[in-house]
Structure 1
Amino acid sequence: MPESNPPSSGDRLSTADVSFLYLEQPTTAMHVGTVMVFRTPDGGLDVERLMRHIGSRIVYVPRYRQRVKQVPGRLANPVWVDDDQFDLSYHVRRSALPRPGDDEQLADLVARLQSRPLDRRRPLWEVYVVEGLSDGRFALVSKVHQALVDGESTVDIGQVVLDSVPDVEPVAELPWAPRRSPNGVQLVLDAVADSVSRPGEVLDVVRHNVSNLRDVGMGTLRTAGRVAGFARRLSGVAPASPLTTGTTPHRRFAMVDTDLEDYRVIRAAMLEAPAAGLRPHAVTVNDVILSVLAGALRAWLLTRAEPVGTGSVVRTLVPMSVRDDVGPPGGDLSRPAAPEVGNRVTSFLIDLPTGEASPVMRLHQVAYQTRAHRDAGRAVDAAAIAGMAGFAPPTLHSLGARVAAGLSRRMFHLVVTNVPGPQHALYADGCELLSTYPVIPLADGQSLSIGLTSYAGRVFYGLNADREALPDLDVVGSCIRDALAELRAAVGPVAG
């Protein structure tokens, strides 16, 4: 190997990052996914060109060409090293749906793809180009390990492949030669050096090796994902629920597409013409979404003949808030460089009032709980989030899932990540993005997770569920649409 290419000592994984490797089990793959559906361009899809587009963008995010290498004896956390066998065609794969190529078939494929763990001998990501969708569409289905995306040095691949304009000059291919991987002796020497400079981190590593890895990982992430405000009053063990019975590695996936205007109309109606004799009340689109989920879960539980009393709740972890240091909105999405989002995701717990029969009262109860979070001054306006450089939702969903993984599953029944996206069209190599659905991983024992992203006037839900625990996942999707319609009808028309 020439002297100009010396061996790299590797960037060491943080204790939080390595926890996601230790937390992974056969039943709980620790990667976050995104399903992005595009309009096929005139003349058909050029898959080779699309692969080159993806390859040109990951140049600016070096992690996507690095793999994890363990330190002998686990004397320190693993390190990121360049993959000297990196093969883009391994990570970007082709797939196709048989006719008719409908959304149900796509959801079945996504469920199978997301059930499979990533190969730790290679960089921890995959993208599937899915052809054969109806109505002249194709999809990109991504999988990125939670150990990879920290929001600072590395963002989700969905954030770097999209542009705000259809015609972007191709990025010149940059020469890349992998740095030599450090050998065992160098890794040990580096670990000894770190033990002198960072003794606290070494203590964490020792704990990993002499005690239960899962408990240590949880403890580490609890510190990073503190539950604020109202959550402190809800931190006891959540009651038993059919949403906490998942035990298999197999998944079901469902996609729900709704109109953002419906949520805005409901919010405006609550301000201008309060229903049911209630006073005007300031609510957010997020409040409306959570109350719709409360109504949907109530209806779903009733279809199962589950006991739903007046005090019934679904305790929900909502890791979607962004701290107020995100900076000004309006980043340039056309740049190929990876934008920084940062670890700005916090979380709070909320009891979705599934025992409340009135949709308007459910909205009031949800808004009362979320107000405590807003009053703490840690929430950021949706426009600021949507204006971050790059298509931030995939990264923010990933960061939200990281926070959720750090909390005991006994504290909550459900994870809901809600990230607003831009309301203008986005493109990948000139192909227009039509819809985008998050795939949030399930924690051990969890049966359902929900991610949603607003984009271009729509709100897209991705429902990820344990295959055996929720054979009726499609019913949950139908109940979301019905609950939205019920709430809109209940609040009445907007004045003027």
Structure 2
Amino acid sequence: MVNRLSPDEAMFYFLDGSGTSAHLGALLILDPHKKTKHPGAEVDYNALVSLVENRLQTAPRYRQIVAEITFGLARPVWVDDREFDINFHVRLSALPQPGTVEQLQELIARVMSRPLDRTRPLWEMYLIEGLYDNRSVILTKTHRCMLGSPEHPELSEVLCDDVADREPLEDDLWMPRRPPRSASLTAGALAEALARPGEVVDSLLRGNGPVADLWSVADKSARVVSGVVSQMVNAAPDSPLNAVTTSSRLFAFSSLARRDLEAVVAKYECTLNDVVLAILTGALRRWLMSVKDSVSHGETVRATMPLSARDPDTVEGEASGAWIVIGGTEFVTDLPVGEDAPSVRLMQVAGLADRYSQSTRRMSQGLRPILPELGLVPFSDRSTRAFAGIFQRAYNIPISMSSERIGRKYVGGIPITGIFTIPTLATQRALGISVNEYANQVQIAFIADRSVVGDLPAMPGYVTESLDELLTGPAPAGSDR
């Protein structure tokens, strides 16, 4: 029996293209100077390769490739890579001296700009040496189609341990299974389709087969879904963040001490996530002022974020404490970048998020497959892109925010001092933001289109300034909520 990509997985697989790279990742900063039960332990390249090989038995998809079906008669299938080479996927890199954060960010941007090799399993991992103070970094890069469910975690989560002295897994000799022949896959796809004869005619006429020029799944889907979107939320404000994008990326990250955010929480009697959103709003305001003649009073940026990050109790089972947040219910809220008073901006952020997180009109399941019941090509390249286009004006910026603090993590006995998520950057989205809480730090990462947000390296400074003005500014009268 073939292991076919799910509708979600197939959609993201076909989403790659100009201006879109459907991969995400994680940045793990290691500090060998931290005291552990294994003083002197280090993760060099050979040790990392051995560790990854040992853990891949818990994540078999990382030794599989995607095999497409002739004429697009069905969704692609997962098959074992008979020429799997661990050294192709796990790579060694180094920063030039002096190993600054800026140099690290530029290296990550170059890595995340490159597409993954579709003839191999869709992931890469880099051990980056030479970060200042003798620290090292692990960077993972995984295609979004690999992460179809909680049973298929991102590789950084497979690699990390909750304790410093975890024993290796027992050796498990992996032998790749012989991939099915192309003719067999084609015949199987036809057999599946013929079991639903009513769908065959419709799919052949509207799918990705030889007569795809007559009809398209996207045509039918657009009519259905666009009505739903228009009811869910009106169009997002005009923004340079929805410009036509390229595949060239920039990356930046910033860490904020949790105690500083807690001081703002106590000062304004709000929640920690209110403060985080207000800080991001202040940073976006500064960026907009650097690229526009003016930012008008009342101007907003529309963001989508996980509902579980707003109120974990409202979404049963979604709060996991993981740093790769995928799936789940989202809601759309407005960030008041036009408000120049920091304290008023915070109150507006909190009030809008409270209101919209409880509004069904602001709920969204995010990018979801169209007509998943169809057997023949529900996700061609054209239909997936058309579907993404439907949502291009529903929001300006995605914010990925974990709903729980991440517990202490280790790699090969070495403590991790920083965990940053690198989100997927979708078409016509020039900026993506992720927020994690780890090691008494709130850790924020930005990925952007280089041609649109060319000054992204300034964003961490904007974040710090936005926090400082909340710490030092007076609280407004009657700020308790």
Q: TM-score range by the shorter chain?
A: 0.7 to 0.9
- 2:336 touches 2:349 (CA, 8 Å); kept in 1? yes
Please state how far the C-alpha of 1:310 moved relative to its aligned partner.
Answer: 1.3
Q: What is the CA–CA distance in structure 1 between the aligned matches of 2:198 and 2:255, rounded to whole Å?
A: 47
- State the secondary structure of the residue aligned to 2:279: helix
The residue type equivalent to 2:317 in the other structure is V
Q: Does 1:97 align with 2:89?
A: no
Q: Calculate the TM-score normalised by the size of structure 1.
A: 0.79
Please, which of 288, 293, 296 is the counterpart of residue 301 of structure 1? 288
- State the secondary structure of the residue aligned to 2:14: helix
Please, which of 351, 359, 370 is the counterpart of residue 342 of structure 2? 359
Please, which of 193, 196, 209 is the counterpart of residue 191 of structure 2? 193
State the Cα deviation string for residues 282-318 of structure 1 (Å, max 9, x = none).
x322121111111111122223343311110111121
Q: What is the CA–CA distance in structure 1 between the aligned matches of 2:447 and 2:66, rounded to whole Å?
A: 27
Which stretch shifts more, 359-368 or 416-425?
416-425
- State the secondary structure of the residue aligned to 2:29: strand
Please, which of 268, 273, 279 is the counterpart of residue 292 of structure 1? 279
Find the counterpart in structure 1 of residue 364 from structure 2: none
- State the secondary structure of the residue aligned to 1:477: helix
Identity, % of aligned pairs?
A: 34
Q: Does 1:483 align with 2:470?
A: no
Please state how far the C-alpha of 1:440 moved relative to its aligned partner.
Answer: 1.5
Find the counterpart in structure 1 of residue 5 from structure 2: 13
Taking structure 1 as reference, are residues 59 and 262 closer, same or farther at Cα in structure 2, changes over 3 Å only?
A: same
Please state how far the C-alpha of 1:208 moved relative to its aligned partner.
Answer: 4.2
Q: Does 1:453 align with 2:436?
A: yes
The residue type equivalent to 2:298 in the other structure is G
- 1:35 touches 1:141 (CA, 8 Å); kept in 2? yes
1:114-193 paired onto structure 2 within 5 Å: 114-193=112-191
The residue type equivalent to 1:297 in the other structure is L
Question: Between Structure 1 and Structure 2, how many residues are aligned?
Answer: 436
Which stretch shifts more, 442-451 or 349-358?
442-451
Please state how far the C-alpha of 1:483 moved relative to its aligned partner.
Answer: 0.6
Q: Does 1:57 align with 2:55?
A: yes
Taking structure 1 as reference, are residues 328 and 99 closer, same or farther at Cα in structure 2, changes over 3 Å only?
A: closer
- 1:151 touches 1:342 (CA, 8 Å); kept in 2? no
The residue type equivalent to 1:413 in the other structure is N
- State the secondary structure of the residue aligned to 2:149: coil
- 1:66 touches 1:81 (CA, 8 Å); kept in 2? yes
1:330-369 paired onto structure 2 within 5 Å: 345-369=328-352
Find the counterpart in structure 2 of residue 462 from structure 1: 445
State the Cα deviation string for residues 451-487 of structure 1 (Å, max 9, x = none).
1211011011111111121221122221111111111
The residue type equivalent to 1:251 in the other structure is R
Find the counterpart in structure 2 of residue 432 from structure 1: 415
1:367-386 paired onto structure 2 within 5 Å: 367-372=350-355, 374-375=357-358
- 1:315 touches 1:412 (CA, 8 Å); kept in 2? yes
- State the secondary structure of the residue aligned to 1:286: helix
Find the counterpart in structure 1 of residue 26 from structure 2: 34
Please, which of 17, 24, 38 is the counterpart of residue 25 of structure 1? 17
- State the secondary structure of the residue aligned to 1:345: coil
Which stretch shifts more, 46-55 or 109-118?
46-55
The residue type equivalent to 1:28 in the other structure is T
- 1:221 touches 1:405 (CA, 8 Å); kept in 2? no
Q: What is the CA–CA distance in structure 1 between the aligned matches of 2:464 and 2:101, rounded to whole Å?
A: 16
- 2:116 touches 2:122 (CA, 8 Å); kept in 1? yes
Please state how far the C-alpha of 1:433 moved relative to its aligned partner.
Answer: 0.6
Taking structure 1 as reference, are residues 63 and 44 closer, same or farther at Cα in structure 2, changes over 3 Å only?
A: closer
- 2:42 touches 2:412 (CA, 8 Å); kept in 1? no
Please, which of 261, 264, 267 is the counterpart of residue 265 of structure 2? 267
The residue type equivalent to 1:47 in the other structure is Y
State the Cα deviation string for residues 222-277 of structure 1 (Å, max 9, x = none).
79xx98xxx966x2222321222243211111111111222222222222xxxxxx
- 2:306 touches 2:400 (CA, 8 Å); kept in 1? yes
Taking structure 1 as reference, are residues 368 and 345 closer, same or farther at Cα in structure 2, changes over 3 Å only?
A: same
Find the counterpart in structure 1 of residue 384 from structure 2: none
Which ranges in structure 2 are unaligned for 5 or more consecutive residues? 34-39, 361-386
- State the secondary structure of the residue aligned to 1:438: strand
Q: Give the root-mean-square deviation of aligned CA atoms.
A: 3.3
Taking structure 1 as reference, are residues 270 and 442 closer, same or farther at Cα in structure 2, changes over 3 Å only?
A: same
Which ranges in structure 1 are unaligned for 5 or more consecutive residues? 1-8, 272-282, 331-338, 378-403
Find the counterpart in structure 2 of residue 325 from structure 1: 316
Q: What is the CA–CA distance in structure 2 between the aligned matches of 1:145 and 1:16, rounded to whole Å?
A: 12
Please, which of 303, 308, 312 is the counterpart of residue 316 of structure 1? 303
- 1:67 touches 1:122 (CA, 8 Å); kept in 2? yes
Q: Does 1:419 align with 2:402?
A: yes
Please state how far the C-alpha of 1:139 moved relative to its aligned partner.
Answer: 0.7
Find the counterpart in structure 1 of residue 372 from structure 2: none
State the Cα deviation string for residues 398-436 of structure 1 (Å, max 9, x = none).
xxxxxx968612222111111145454210111111112
Please state how far the C-alpha of 1:48 moved relative to its aligned partner.
Answer: 1.1
Taking structure 1 as reference, are residues 214 and 148 closer, same or farther at Cα in structure 2, changes over 3 Å only?
A: farther
Please state how far the C-alpha of 1:80 moved relative to its aligned partner.
Answer: 0.5
Q: What is the CA–CA distance in structure 2 between the aligned matches of 1:243 and 1:317, rounded to whole Å?
A: 13
Q: What is the CA–CA distance in structure 1 between the aligned matches of 2:415 and 2:341, rounded to whole Å?
A: 40
- 1:266 touches 1:491 (CA, 8 Å); kept in 2? no
Taking structure 1 as reference, are residues 110 and 244 closer, same or farther at Cα in structure 2, changes over 3 Å only?
A: same
Please state how far the C-alpha of 1:342 moved relative to its aligned partner.
Answer: 9.8
Taking structure 1 as reference, are residues 252 and 200 closer, same or farther at Cα in structure 2, changes over 3 Å only?
A: farther
Q: Calculate the TM-score normalised by the size of structure 2.
A: 0.82
- State the secondary structure of the residue aligned to 1:159: helix
- 1:221 touches 1:407 (CA, 8 Å); kept in 2? no
Taking structure 1 as reference, are residues 245 and 39 closer, same or farther at Cα in structure 2, changes over 3 Å only?
A: same
Please state how far the C-alpha of 1:320 moved relative to its aligned partner.
Answer: 5.7
